[in-house]
């Protein structure tokens, strides 16, 4: 039985796809008599089957060698289009993580969206989300990975624009779609180039080709930078980072998946591309710069946000920036550890924040307070999720950051200070958000806020326990260092940054009305961070302005130059036709004479152009 499940491991993504297809009759309104609940249960059942299938495979494959499954899609006239599947502990472990979190998110969504008339459509989209992510996890083909990233882009557009009756939601979905399309288009160029140059798009073949590839520096740099663009768009990295902030307009259960798994999907593709990116040192340096700017910049921006989901989403960009930095420094194992620990902690934080939004009816941090005694399960989930996000012994992110910092303590010591800064600012931000939500005096919208029901509390409590058990998972997988080899100087720096961030976040003055400061300099920095360094306005003045100017020039050229030339030709045709109609005499000899004269003139010009007239004696 186990061998059968292992041989059919490539079918794991189809569980989510089948669930989404089975949900469609309710989602598009064909079946109305039963209500949307049967669709929800069908989709959830397929997710449970996918999770159990992945879990059994993961237990069996841990002690076996990785295997590759080649699937030929099209082969004719010497053109072979095939893609490979990677069946290994890392890929199957990723599917366990994806299907497990999807299962918890769907239980959570059952309570969060129980009164929404389009809940069947939401679960259908969640099924597509799960299918694309599971396929991305086991894909060993750049072509298949690109196609699945496109499916994720479409799914993000549909889920962000789920409540399409709201104009702001439509705008957010459109911006998220087009921002990702920029990165996807550049990635497509790299895919086409590699298919021609390398002759294959399977990662295993590309790794062998990269070891002996002899490309010019310009070619390798352009290809590698284009390969980076796709994951940068998916992971909300600078300068393609604005979409994640706007994507918070969608339903919160989708935000749970998006901030924990979807962004991790793009980073996972980047991890798979690392052996190819070494062809260009410029591309690796670009990864370091992008990751550094996003990690520090997004962490600073998150501190100035007063919307609970935006305060957490910017920290997602920051942690993905650390992943980009790790890949740029060729620390792929560290990148995977960061993705694993971040996924659990961030999913738990968004479940907790969603519960607060559900009971209070607001996302504004300045309208909250005093919820710790009224929502104990939600408060506990937030505390554990926040602790799992920062370097707080003994939770998961501490070990991921410690492993990274120890490896680079002598090679690149500046990375440790980046980790210390990002970790300290993240601790400060999460503490600030905790104080505004759960501490202080209750306000009008929080005085009677109850704890959420079992369907929302159960996944939160379950994920709280799992987040606490992450260090045991890492120990079981032999990913934790021994106490004898621990660099206690690095430990003290990381823990001190966490303690300092918590201390500052718990003591700074937070005015509930969040009035703007009267000090001009402080107000400037407050607005600068609150409006994300005015990046959107910079885009409007530069990129959008340039495109608008080119559009105006193109429209003017089309109207007055192209249309003018075509109209001029048409005018001469009409004028010539109108003039010739008066020469119609009805006498055939006149027509023959006209044809003869025309042919003679035409032949004269052809002979003259060919130089035949130069040979005449006269």
- pLDDT per position as a tens digit, 446-485: 777 777 888 888 999 999 999 888 888 877 777 777 777 7
The answer on pLDDT for 4 being more than 70 is no
Rg (CA), the chain: 31
Decide if 32 contacts 120 (C-beta within 8 A).
no
For residue 104, the Cα-to-chain-centroid distance in whole angstroms is 21
Q: How far is residue 43's CA from residue 99's CA, in Å, rounded to a whole number?
A: 12
The answer on pLDDT for 1 being more than 60 is no
Decide if 315 contacts 426 (C-beta within 8 A).
yes
Q: pLDDT tens, 202-228? A: 888 888 888 887 888 888 889 889 888
Tokens 């987040």 found at: 467
User: What average pLDDT does the structure give for the chain?
Assistant: 82
> For the chain, what percent of residues have pLDDT higher than 70?
90
pLDDT band with cut points at 50, 70 and 90 for residue 605: confident
Helix or strand run (H / E) with residue 454: helix 454-476
Q: Which pTM was predicted?
A: 0.84
Count of helices and strands (H, E) across the chain: 25, 2
Of 416, 429, 428, 414, the closest CA to residue 491 belongs to 416
Q: Domain locations in the chain? A: 184-235+265-530, 540-584, 590-618
- Write the Ramachandran bin of 82: left for phi over 0, alpha for psi from -120 to 50, otherwise beta: beta
Of 499, 326, 318, 526, the closest CA to residue 424 belongs to 499
Q: How far is residue 505's CA from residue 519's CA, in Å, rounded to a whole number?
A: 21
How far apart, in Å, are the Cα atoms of 481 and each of 327, 402, 471, 530? 21, 9, 11, 40
Of 61, 72, 81, the closest CA to residue 9 belongs to 61
**Across 11-25, 60-74, 168-182, 333-347, least confident range:** 60-74
Decide if 437 contacts 356 (C-beta within 8 A).
yes
Q: pLDDT tens, 132-150? A: 888 888 888 888 888 888 8
The encoded tokens of residue 178 equal 């087009």
Mean pLDDT throughout 498-506? 88
Mean pLDDT throughout 565-591? 68
Question: Three-state SS string across 80-144, please?
Answer: EEEEEEEECHHHHHHHHHHHHHHHHHHHHHHHHCCCCCCHHHHHHHHHHHHHHHHHHHHECEHHH
The answer on pLDDT for 512 being more than 60 is no
Tokens 């930078």 found at: 225
Higher per-residue pLDDT: 481 or 201: 201
Question: Three-state SS string across 66-81, please?
Answer: CEEEEEEEEEECCEEE
Q: What share of the chain is helix, strand, coil (3-state, %, to 5)?
A: 75, 5, 20
């Amino acid at each position: 039985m186990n061998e059968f499940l292992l041989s059919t491991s490539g079918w794991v993504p189809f569980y989510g796809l089948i669930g989404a297809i089975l949900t469609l009759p309710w989602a598009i309104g064909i079946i109305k008599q039963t209500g949307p609940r049967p669709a929800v249960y069908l989709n959830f059942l397929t997710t449970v089957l996918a999770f159990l299938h992945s879990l059994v495979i993961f237990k069996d494959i841990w002690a076996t060698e990785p295997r590759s499954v080649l699937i030929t899609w099209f082969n004719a006239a010497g053109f072979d289009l095939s893609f490979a599947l990677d069946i290994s502990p890392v890929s199957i472990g990723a599917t366990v993580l994806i299907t497990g979190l999807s299962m918890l998110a769907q239980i959570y969504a059952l309570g969060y969206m129980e009164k929404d008339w389009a809940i069947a459509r939401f679960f259908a989209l969640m099924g597509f989300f799960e299918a694309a992510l599971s396929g991305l996890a086991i894909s060993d083909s750049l072509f298949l990975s690109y196609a699945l990233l496109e499916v994720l882009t479409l799914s993000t557009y549909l889920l962000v624009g789920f409540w399409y009756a709201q104009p702001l939601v439509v705008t957010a979905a459109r911006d998220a779609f087009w921002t990702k399309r920029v990165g996807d288009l550049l990635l497509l160029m790299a895919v086409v180039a590699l298919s021609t140059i390398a002759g294959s798009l399977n990662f295993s073949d590309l790794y062998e080709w990269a070891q002996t590839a002899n490309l010019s520096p310009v070619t390798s740099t352009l290809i590698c930078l284009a390969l980076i663009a796709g994951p940068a768009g998916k992971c909300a990295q600078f300068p393609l980072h604005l979409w994640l902030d706007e994507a918070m307009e969608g339903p919160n259960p989708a935000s749970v998946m998006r901030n924990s798994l979807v962004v991790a999907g793009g980073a996972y593709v980047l991890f798979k591309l690392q052996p190819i990116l070494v062809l260009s040192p410029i591309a690796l340096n670009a990864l370091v710069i992008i990751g550094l700017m996003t990690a520090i910049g997004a962490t600073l921006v998150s501190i100035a946000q007063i919307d609970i989901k935006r305060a957490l989403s910017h920290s997602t960009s920051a942690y993905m920036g650390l992943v980009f930095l790790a890949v740029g420094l060729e620390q792929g194992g560290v990148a995977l550890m960061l993705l694993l620990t971040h996924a659990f902690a961030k999913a738990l934080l968004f479940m907790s924040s969603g519960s607060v939004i559900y009971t209070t009816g607001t996302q504004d941090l300045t309208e909250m307070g005093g919820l710790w005694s009224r929502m104990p399960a939600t408060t506990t989930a937030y505390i554990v999720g926040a602790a799992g996000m920062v370097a707080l012994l003994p939770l998961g992110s501490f070990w991921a950051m410690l492993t990274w910092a120890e490896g680079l303590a002598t090679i690149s010591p500046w990375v440790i200070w980046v980790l210390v800064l990002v970790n300290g600012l993240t601790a400060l931000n999460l503490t600030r958000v905790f104080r505004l939500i759960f501490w202080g005096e209750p306000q009008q919208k929080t005085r009677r806020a109850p704890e959420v029901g079992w369907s929302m509390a159960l996944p939160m409590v379950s994920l709280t326990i799992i987040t606490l058990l992450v260090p045991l998972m890492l120990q079981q997988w032999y990913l934790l260092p021994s106490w004898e080899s621990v660099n206690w100087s690095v430990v003290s720096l990381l823990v001190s940054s966490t303690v300092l961030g918590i201390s500052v976040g718990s003591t700074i003055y937070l005015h509930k009305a969040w009035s703007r400061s009267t000090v001009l300099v402080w107000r400037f920095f407050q607005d600068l961070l609150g409006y994300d360094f005015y990046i959107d306005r910079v885009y409007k003045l530069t990129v959008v302005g340039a495109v608008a100017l080119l559009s105006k020039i193109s429209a003017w050229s089309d109207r007055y130059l192209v249309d003018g030339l075509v109209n001029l030709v048409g005018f001469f045709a009409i004028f010539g036709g109108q003039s010739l109609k008066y020469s119609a005499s009805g006498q055939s000899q006149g027509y023959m004479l006209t044809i003869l004269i025309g042919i003679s003139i035409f032949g004269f010009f052809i002979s003259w152009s060919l130089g035949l007239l130069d040979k005449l004696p006269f």
